[in-house]
């Protein structure tokens, strides 16, 4: 089974990782010596194939993205895994994957139902990061959390109703950071499994941040606090 990626960064990262089955480009100036099959097509064709996405003249049919396992993400010391509880927006998922890859996060986990999944838009927003980020799709977040607890991880959820600020927690431990859905936040069962719940301070009239922005702030705070 194959899928598509489009956009210059996503295209060339897939090329470097030998995932391209067939490339579709406006011209072959950058790829003619790269040893991959390709077709030169017009912009209308790329617009149609990318569903009017920002392809930048590059689109490729690629081998199916290989999902990782939770076990592949586990570390003995200073592990950091991001778990997504019901994220619905493809742009949020792509941006979170990009941030996590840039920050050196060990993996991203999301559930297989009632949430967005990896697709061509996610790959485009991730801007090539999907080629390097471990991503796992699981059937039950609670069971996965309990497994990670058994492997030495502490579960940190983010919720606006928490009493503790995100800067007030010592992250010198293996952490699973949970980001809830855009509208409802963490589900009740997932929240009950958290060892700690932290919040981002809201000083303005708007009471919540975009999920990918919140994830970025929390991830980099964890990394900076460990230093």
For the stretch 129-178, pLDDT in tens is: 999 999 999 999 999 999 999 999 999 999 988 999 999 999 999 999 99
The pLDDT, as a whole number, for residue 182 is: 82
The pLDDT, as a whole number, for residue 53 is: 85
Percent of the chain with pLDDT over 90: 87
Main-chain dihedrals φ then ψ at residue 85, nearest 5 degrees: -105, 85
Cβ count within 10 A of residue 138: 18
CATH of domain 2-63: 3.30.1330.30
Encode pLDDT of 1-25 as tens digits: 458 999 999 999 999 999 999 999 9
Cβ count within 10 A of residue 187: 18
Q: What is the mean pLDDT of the chain?
A: 94
The pLDDT, as a whole number, for residue 13 is: 94
The rounded distance, in Å, linking the Cα atoms of 166 and 28 is 49
Query: What residues contact 158, with CB distance under 8 A and at least 6 apart?
Result: 166, 177, 178, 179, 180, 186, 197, 198, 199, 200, 214, 218
The domain ranges of the chain are 2-63, 70-226
β-bridge pairing 80-85 and 174-180: parallel
Name residue, tokens 């009239």. 205
pLDDT category at 183 given cuts 50, 70, 90 is confident
Query: What residues contact 71, with CB distance under 8 A and at least 6 apart?
Result: none
Comparing 182 with 119, the larger pLDDT belongs to 119
Which two tokens mark 162? 């928490």
Q: How far out from the chain centre does Cα 128 lie?
A: 11
Global pTM reads: 0.88
In this structure, which CATH number among 2.40.30.10, 3.40.50.1970, 1.20.120.1200, 3.40.1280.10 belongs to the domain 70-226?
Answer: 3.40.1280.10
Average confidence (pLDDT) over 55-67: 94
Q: List C-alpha distances in Å: 17 to 23, 130, 171.
A: 14, 11, 33
Cβ count within 10 A of residue 113: 10
């Amino acid at each position: 089974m194959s899928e598509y990626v489009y956009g210059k960064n996503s295209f060339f990262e897939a090329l470097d990782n030998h995932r391209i089955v067939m490339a579709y480009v406006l011209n072959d100036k950058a790829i003619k010596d790269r040893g991959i099959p390709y077709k030169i097509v017009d912009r209308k064709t790329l617009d149609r194939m990318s569903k009017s996405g920002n392809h930048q003249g590059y689109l490729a049919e690629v081998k199916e993205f290989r999902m990782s396992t939770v076990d592949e993400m586990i570390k003995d010391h200073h592990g950091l895994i991001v778990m997504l509880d019901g994220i619905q927006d493809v742009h949020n998922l792509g941006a979170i994957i990009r941030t996590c890859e840039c920050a050196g996060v060990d993996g991203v986990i999301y559930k297989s139902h009632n949430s967005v999944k990896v697709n061509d838009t996610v790959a485009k927003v991730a801007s090539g990061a999907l080629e390097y980020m471990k991503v796992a799709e699981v059937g039950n977040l609670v069971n996965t959390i309990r497994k990670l607890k058994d492997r030495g991880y502490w579960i940190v959820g983010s919720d606006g109703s928490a009493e503790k600020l995100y800067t007030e927690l010592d992250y010198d431990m293996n952490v699973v950071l949970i980001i809830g859905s855009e509208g409802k936040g963490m589900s009740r069962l997932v929240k009950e499994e958290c060892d700690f719940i932290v919040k981002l301070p809201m000083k303005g009239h708007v009471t919540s941040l975009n999920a990918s922005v919140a994830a970025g702030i929390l991830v980099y705070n964890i990394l900076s606090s460990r230093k």
